[in-house]
Chain A
Amino acid sequence: MSTAGSVSKACFVFKSKQKKVANPEDYFCHDTSDSTAQTRHRAFHTLWDELNTEIQILQSDLNTRIFDDLIQFTQNASSKFTFDPDDSTHQRVAYEIPTAALVTGVNMPDHDVMFANLISLVREKVSLYVAVLKSNDCPNVKSVMVKSITQLMGNKDMMDDSIDDGDNTTVNIKKINCTMSTLAAWYADKFNKPSSPKKKRSSSGEGIETSRCPPLVIVLEDLEGFPPHVLQDFVLICSNHLTDLPIVLILGIATAVTAVHRVLPHSVSSLLCIERFQAPPSTNYLTQVINKVLMTPRHPFKLDAKVFQLLLDIFLYHDFSVLNFIRGLQFGLMDHFYSNPVSCLCCPLEDCLETVKTLNHQNIEELRKTGSFRKYVESQPSKDQILLLTDDKHLKKVVADLLYSMDNYHRCFFPMLDCLHCLVKKLPKHPLGKQVREVYCECLKGNISETEAYKDAFSLLKAMSKDEMTILLHQCIDRLAQEDVPEELKSIPNNLREFVNRFENLEDLTQTVGDTTGDDENTEALPKKTDMHTLRKTLLERKKKKLTVYEVIRTDTVEYLNEICSKYLACPRSQPLHEIFYYDSASEIRRHINGAPRTAIQTALSNPYFYLQNPSLQGESNSVSPALPDVCIIYKLHLECGRLINMYDWLQAFITLIHTREGAEEEEDPKQPDKKLQARFIRAVSELQFLGFIKPTKRKTDHVARLTWGGC
């Protein structure tokens, strides 16, 4: 069935006979000659599942505190509600709607998950009666009312009842008049009878706290998106029915609480009793994700400097969305396993060593091809080199060793990274950045100990006061005393403790050392006669020598720290076989995660050589070569125009160029140009119109308006 050319239909359905499910493995292993594809696909799956669960746990943990507060709030808010009109407390609160302003941050894409979690929690712990409103469903008050009331009255609990009572309840919801009075009547009917509610509550589950009157929670996910008048009316309506209904509002706010006051006038916002809840910023979440997923020896997959930087930049400069960061990560993971044949070894060490044993010759050749391995071979004595390049068995042994040392390297790397981060995070001007991810990024870029920033940081460390220094050292010791630290690093805390002791016993030391130096000074008298220059020199030298004991110890400490940092924080790219674990094609991610359609189209039009690679298309980008495809010529000509383009002139210019190319057979009347050329011109122009470069205009006959202002 053709899907083109229909003038009556735009959707074409191709239904399969049975429900077919795509198996990703089929597409992963498209190349049957590649025996590792299956292994890689399996490794990819297990790894991604692990990461994904870990991230999900993180996500739910992250908001627990704020959610607990919120739940507490909703429970408190509704507890005062009674149906008894004489109750004095009731009278007092009745004018203000208890409102929780949940400040969520601008990372809108992440909020869906967050609200879903929140709502399920509220359903579980506070009340079954929750309505969720999104701004794009609610263009007017009526739709707000319909949405909220159907959700409140038609929730699961009701459905369950309706099954018992027959089908009438569900039908009713569709037909009822959606007003607050209906809701109030329904609510009073349900909960104002002293006996019946209990029965219902007990039937619908134990998890719910058996408050006699459960609150009606209305969640507005994106407050800023609602039209102000709708919101105002809605709040007014709610406040009018506060005596009958225990309404609690939860407002999701992306910017700041002041948004409420901007949307609502004082008279309305005074009806709200707002309590603010600040969700942790997404940067926190990101930091945790990076810590748990990337900066850990547990997961073998790592990002190389450029990719890491790119994903971070997308996060920081585009959307603050952790969800998108994770998707970028997933894409990288998938691409790594798909396109890199050696990635079959990218799995936890034990599995990895197993896999090495099963490698066939072809796979081993792939390993030999990797850049880092070649470098490693070159560094070996020549006898070993031959063995490495010819003997597969020997190579397998070596690879196993290398993998082992890689694993060890990672185990040492991350504790040390944390130490370095402790040391540098509070330095003035933050030469290595404030966040651990920034330090990590520096480490990934190259040997960190050789960078300017690192040297700056250490020279700043050398100027620290004693108190600061001991605090830093204690932090490092604490970090290195944790469980995940390998044997190799166990001696470091002791050494550091040694330094701390020396700092603490400084008083005593100063005394003893002070005496000796004093003696030196006495013995070394100034020469009697000397010129100004030498005197200055000697004095300067003497001053230099006169380091206090504290300074000496401090220098020693910093030297020691420098030594261990440069030892354990070597760049991962210097490690042999790092290609197995590190994903480095940033361009792939940039192209596919962060596509630039307009750039592609304009490049295709202004520089077709970039895509077509035909030598006759090469040339200066600003000249209009007649050899270009029609639409490129038309495009380049239109760049020469202002806001409006005269079609006739355009056509003439086009014809001029085409004639040059085709060696204008005969001079023809310009008033009646070749129909074929005209047709080609029409096609090219309508393509430009389709792409959005021009549009028809009525300002002048036979003119089109230009829509871009580019020069290329």
Chain B
Amino acid sequence: MGSLRRTVTRTARSSGHQKVRGVGQGQGWGVRLGRKIERSSGDGEFEKDSDEDSEVFRPPEALTEDSETLAGRDMYGFRTPNKKGQMTQKASESAQAYTPVSKTPKSKKTPVKTPKSVEKKTPKSGKKQTEMVTPAKRKSKVLPRRPETTTPYRLRKRNVADVVDDSSSDSAMSSEEESSSVASSETTGSATVTATTSESTSKTPTKRKMRGDQSALPDMTEEYFLAHSSNQIHTSDRTLARLGRMDQDSLTNMLTDVPNMYRKECAALYREHRALFDKWMLQMCNGFNLLLYGFGSKRPLLEEFRTTVLKGFTSLVINGYFPSITVKNILNSITEDLIEHRGSFRSVTDQCDFIKDHYESGEYEDIFLIIHNIDGSMLRSDKVQTVLSVLAQIRGFHILASIDHINGPLIWDQTKSSRFNWLWYDVTSYNAYTEETSYENSLLVQQSGALALSSLTHVMKSLTPNAREIFMLLVKYQLENKDNASYIGLSFHALYQRCREAFLVNSDLTLKAQLTEFTDHKLIRYKKSVDGVDHLYIPLDEATLTDFVEQQAET
């Protein structure tokens, strides 16, 4: 009888059941983002609440009426520009098409001639000899310089197949292009032209047309899979090795005197946003929280808001882009600095509850949290956002946040975004993200490794000679293997053998004890190889390690 499952049904309204497509827990945002696609993806597929018949389906016009900005299809559409050098091609095309407006303030001097009228110079194709041949007399002219890649990839491939000398054909073809003669199909000139025309017909005009065209979408999904099916990468093989890399300091120095061409316009935008300050305060007083989005750093605006309107109010500034911010930091600064509570908490939830109790039991007080980049990489996790959304609900708490990542809003599910109760403001400013990107390990910026090195030396000083020796063993081994691409570290056993041979340890237990010191300081990392053996690895680059070895040798 126990296995007899009884499901008694008692409904308050027998008719009341509803279906939604795609709206489930945690998916609210997906729906929001995808809404524009939805409209085209299939009318009549949605099911509204069963109050309405499916036959009276009405597409959500009010939601998609966005004449002023991009249509969703443009934003989420697929295109497969899979040819090598298309970017370069586009650049030179655009450069040629460009006629500098003489009155524009930023072009310091008007070019001698408009690029169009100039006879184009032989481009520097990536190959060696042609580059040298460039006539010197033309250097004085204002030229639309062609960058290195000229040939569309598929064409180049064909050329190779035809066993044509690559470099000579390159220059031959490009020169033919310059005379812009009607060339045969084998030459780059016409190929570029056909490529561009076919590109432009297939790409841009259809894109415009598609706004009204419903049937275009299925083809585009095909394209997506086509683009992702091949594993080949159609890009040129050039590397940045030829360029001297810069470090962060020289980069900032370089950028200090780069003029902003649209200073006046940016200032106008900024004034526009400033005028909203009173409205923002009003809306925050009425229980809404503000979320600022749009291109450009929003720091200056928020800082100004804090120093002017929020003067005299208790406020907390949180730099969400900070690479090591944790939710504990945020809560601690509330409990320790604002409430001045001395004591620890068992868990984050406890701490939240404490804050809630403190502010809701006492006198009403307005607290403003300014979060720069609420979508910062350390704040993205579900847990952190839950905590923030709980804070947002505490009486008297107001949040003013900025968001930059294009997929940023996905960090909130329906429940959380409802708790935050956002009002969205587009505050596009075109300010450079100087502060925000300074922490990011940019691709081109050389990491000096100075920080890592100094921490390394500090740790080393505090260690016993034996431990130092062990670490040096590992460092040296890693440097020996620096050219080995598949190097994953020294196996524990091998290290033990070596240490024994050097009379550094007498048992594997002592070795383990020595190593904990390093792992605690994150100077050694364990990696498991395929056969499941632990390998020890120092997560620093060669240059830093070499420096370190030299430094150690000195002392």
Contacts and interface: CB of A to CB of B under 8 A. Distances in A.
Interface stretch (B91-99, B166-174, B492-500, B517-525): B91-99
Given A608-B430, A686-B437, 10 more contacts: A12-B318, A277-B10, A434-B53, A593-B424, A605-B295, A649-B87, A649-B238, A661-B106, A693-B406, A709-B227
Category for how many chain A residues contact B: 35 or more
Contacts of A701: 239
Given A222-B25, A649-B149, A598 B329 contact: no
Interface stretch (A124-132, A164-172, A558-566, A610-618): A610-618
B146 interface: yes
Contacts of B409: 597
B406 to A, nearest CB: 5
Contacts of B364: 19, 21
Nearest to A95: B2
A280 B18 CA distance: 10
A20 B291 contact: no
A612 B426 CA distance: 14
A642 B234 contact: yes
Given A278-B16, A597-B403, A680 B255 contact: yes
A690 B404 contact: yes
Given A274-B5, A318-B28, A638 B87 contact: yes
A542 B24 CA distance: 62
Given A429-B56, A592-B423, A656-B147, A65 B12 contact: yes
Contacts of B360: none
A225 B145 CA distance: 59
Contacts, number: 549
B85 interface: yes
B250 to A, nearest CB: 8
B97 A623 contact: yes
**4 shortest interchain CB distances as A-B pairs:** A595-B424, A109-B418, A679-B254, A653-B91
Interface string A458-475: 000000000000000000
B418 A324 contact: yes
A612 B262 contact: yes
B78 interface: yes
Category for how many chain B residues contact A: 35 or more
A86 interface: no
Contact of B386 (A105, A136, A711): A136
Interface in A574-604: 586, 590-604
Contacts of A687: 432-433, 437
B424 A646 contact: no
A593 B406 CA distance: 18
A327 interface: yes
Interface stretch (B109-117, B464-472, B547-555): B109-117
Contact of A691 (B60, B320, B406): B406
B23 A320 contact: yes
B55 A599 contact: no
A709 B79 contact: yes
Interface string B192-232: 00000000100110010000000000000000100110000
Contact of B235 (A69, A613, A642, A692): A642
Contact of A598 (B89, B90, B291, B406): B406
Interface in B158-178: none
Interface stretch (A305-313, A368-376, A506-514, A518-526): A305-313
Contacts of A270: 2-5
Interface in B108-163: 108-112, 115, 124, 139, 142-149
A712 B75 contact: yes
B403 A652 contact: no
Given A4-B435, A613-B265, A21 B366 contact: yes
Interface in B53-112: 53, 55-56, 60-63, 65-66, 68-70, 72, 74-82, 85-92, 94-95, 97-98, 100-101, 104, 106-112
A604 B428 contact: yes
Contacts of B508: none
A602 B82 CA distance: 22
A498 B198 CA distance: 74
Contacts of B244: 672
A189 interface: no
B294 to A, nearest CB: 5
A644 interface: yes
B296 interface: yes
A24 interface: yes
Interface in A377-405: none
A683 B265 contact: no
29 contacts: A5-B435, A12-B316, A21-B366, A27-B278, A27-B285, A108-B25, A108-B414, A256-B17, A276-B11, A316-B49, A316-B60, A320-B23, A595-B424, A597-B408, A597-B409, A598-B75, A611-B265, A616-B104, A617-B262, A626-B100, A640-B87, A647-B444, A649-B147, A655-B147, A663-B100, A680-B258, A683-B255, A683-B437, A686-B443
Contacts of B40: none
Interface in A628-644: 629, 631, 636-644
A311 to B, nearest CB: 8
Interface in B475-513: none
A270 B296 CA distance: 57
Given A644-B233, A666-B139, A276 B9 contact: yes
Contacts of A602: 70, 75, 406
Interface in A15-40: 15-16, 19-24, 26-28, 30
Contacts of B60: 313, 316-317
Nearest to B378: A10
A627 interface: yes
Contacts of A663: 100, 107-112, 142
B274 interface: no
A331 interface: yes
A671 B246 contact: no
A696 interface: yes
B527 interface: no
A3 B319 contact: yes
A593 B426 CA distance: 12
Contact of A604 (B306, B319, B430): B430
Interface in A653-698: 653-657, 659-664, 666-667, 670-673, 675-676, 678-683, 685-687, 689-693, 696
Nearest to B52: A434
Nearest to A627: B104
A613 B414 CA distance: 36
A338 interface: yes
Contacts of B100: 626-627, 660-661, 663
Given A15-B314, A279-B12, A709-B78, A692 B406 contact: yes
Interface stretch (B29-37, B181-189, B453-461, B532-540): B29-37
A646 to B, nearest CB: 4
B529 interface: no
A172 to B, nearest CB: 15
Contacts of A622: 200, 203-204
Contact of B48 (A26, A222, A316, A597): A316
Contacts of B68: 610
A709 B12 contact: no
A14 B386 contact: no
Contacts of B436: 690
